[in-house]
Amino acid sequence: MIRTICSLLLLPTLAVPVAAQTGSSDNTVVLANEPVNGTVPFLEQLTEAARISGAVFAGIQVQQSDTENIDLRAHIPLSWRGKEICARVVSANGLYEAVNTYRVSDYLGIQEEDETKVAIPFDTQYEEILATAPKDSLAIKISLGSCSSGQSSDTTVAFWNGKDSSRVSLLVNSFRATKVFVYIGDNPQLPTVCEPVEAPARTAYDTLCQMADLPPGERLKLSVFRVRDNGSTSQDEIYLAVPARP
């Protein structure tokens, strides 16, 4: 099997939700989509034509590949206890997308000064292909609030087979901007300059911003500027909950 995201082109369209497990091993985070015939479905789809969401922010993540299993985790701030979160996974070519709502337990089992990376149930039918997808060919975004409530500006770091959060990838849809850069925090110094994503097809997103050594344990404002050929600019903001330690 060709173990790249291009393999998605060879698979049939999936339009029907599949049954999924209802929680992680410790039930800290459980699937919370609307039940279908008494079963909470895991929602994913694979299409022959790319779907574009129109969102600027596609993913905020630490990703590694070359593994046969998927281990999806997220830094869950203490303020998110008892609330719903939305996890969205999309391929760069826009053919694969999983959008699922989860509920966080009221009790995370940690102290105020600690930090945790919580397992997010991800019962995909395409585990082998997704697990071995090249770096940056998948975007993972985890945000506060249910998926049906719309785009949330509060996000956290997703860990896709990755552990070290000293360098976090911000994946952006620049909408054909010629330059993209991101200011980090309320009193930023020099911005981080973003680069094109190295992926065979860049339909759902096209730009990578590598953010290193983010201030630990903070809720950071990320301000992304997109500059077009005609000199016009667009600014979009998002807030990121940074883990207390790598």
Return mean pLDDT, the chain: 84
Six-digit token string for 5: 């995201």
207 neighbors 171 (Cβ within 8 angstroms): yes
The pLDDT tens digits for 48-87 are 877 777 789 999 999 887 677 899 999 999 899 999 999 9
Specify the DSSP element, H or E, that contains 131: helix 127-131
- State the pLDDT confidence band at 246, using cuts at 50, 70 and 90: low
- State the pLDDT confidence band at 9, using cuts at 50, 70 and 90: very low
- State the pLDDT confidence band at 231, using cuts at 50, 70 and 90: confident
CA distance linking residue 42 with residue 123, whole number of Å: 7
The pLDDT tens digits for 101-128 are 999 998 766 554 445 689 999 999 999 8
The pLDDT of residue 153 is 93
Sign (positive or negative) of CA dihedral 119, 168, 146, 38: negative
The pLDDT tens digits for 19-35 are 444 334 457 899 999 99
pTM of this prediction?
Answer: 0.85
CA torsion angle for 41, 32, 45, 130 (degrees, to 10)? -100
